[in-house]
Structure 1
Amino acid sequence: MKSLIMKSLMVLVFVAGIGNYLVYLKTGQMPLLAMRDQFAGKSSGDFLPGFSADQLASDAREAAHKVASQLSNEEPAPEVKVYKWTDAEGRVHFSDKPQAQNAQQITVDTRNTLSPTSTQPATHSANETAAGDTASPLEKARAAADAMNRRAAQQEQGY
């Protein structure tokens, strides 16, 4: 039994040390040293002056209610129709309108996707870029990163 307690204590110290070091790598601050300096000379009664079990339970119920209301108010994802076909040269194409006789409608999961940057219907070949597309791969990557940052900012405003 003592061996198990000792091993558990060693694992706890090891995890705290590694966690402290990882926070140091990310932020440049040592959280354990900052806590030691902040709590120096204080008793445990100084840290929990207004703590009560009733308040804790009330806060937990309120947080659960907020989460439940956010989940229940979530809008369903709109249905997106996408068609896929292969041309005579063997290239696969995707579009929002069927462009060929052999076009098959496919299901697209639109959860956690970026909104399109333009409102023009898209018809793209999987093997080649559009004829008028002169953007370099770096410009495309930057545009995609900007779109993801805008989407993340929109999602954060919702919370």
Structure 2
Amino acid sequence: MNRIEAWFVHISTILVGVTGAVYAVMRYLMEPVDTFSVVNHPWQPGVQYLHIMAAPFAVFAFGLIWKNHIYDHYRRGFTSGRRSGISLMLTMAPMVVSGYLIQVSVGESWRIVWIVVHCITSFLWITGYLVHQVTHLRKKGTLPIRKTPFSSVASTGIGPSDTR
């Protein structure tokens, strides 16, 4: 994966993640200032539109890195970041599908189901993405490995190990 592709993935993920988190806070955690208002914050519709407009770029970014990153690492047998990468793959489909179904579902009960699925899988996606990036940065050596109380147990093979 080249640097342009990597930055496209990072920027689209950040845009979708931030707009989604901000929209969720506005929609579900804020109270409207005016009792007759249909939105909880004046920026809520704009943030929702930004989220919906940025999401296809994130889906495109996922497709873009499929061959040059995901499949290539699998084929070569790379194990660093594999667990977080697999978690990203497993949460991507339900996150995207539920995001689409939120917009097209007619029944209120199904809409609530898709909102819950979307929020859960989105949280898992963002968490997995952060773990995946930390794993990459630690492997690359730009993010130091923090010593834990279990570091001395590493040589016994019993506890967690941060030696490579």
With normalisation by structure 2, the TM-score equals: 0.22
Bigger-Rg structure (1/2)? 1
More relative contact order in 1 or in 2 (CA 8 Å, sep 6+)?
A: 2
More helix by share: 2
Higher strand content, 1 or 2: 1
TM-score (norm 1): 0.23
